[in-house]
Amino acid sequence: MCGRYSLFTPFDDLEERFDVAIETYEPRYNAAPGQSLPVIPDRRRDDSHQDGVGTGAVVGRRA
């Protein structure tokens, strides 16, 4: 069970905290590596590399 975590913060709290617009979000109480999970990228960094993050992100920076 290594690498598991929980993510159940209300999505409006996540939107406010990270200044993002969330399209879809389902709370996870036993998230595991390999599952499709939300990612909030750090746009302050150079976007030329993804650090292993796949496509299909469910959040984006607000305009």
Residue 18: left (phi > 0), alpha (psi -120 to 50), or beta?
alpha
Give the start-to-end residue ranges of the domains of the chain: 1-37
C-alpha–C-alpha distance, residues 29 and 61, integer Å? 25
pTM for this model (two decimals)? 0.53
What pLDDT is recorded for position 57? Answer: 46
Cα–chain-centroid distance for residue 28? 12
What pLDDT is recorded for position 53? Answer: 56
List, run by run, the mean pLDDT of 10-residue segments along the chain (63 residues): 82 88 85 81 62 51 51
What pLDDT is recorded for position 4? Answer: 84
What pLDDT is recorded for position 52? Answer: 52
What pLDDT is recorded for position 38? Answer: 77
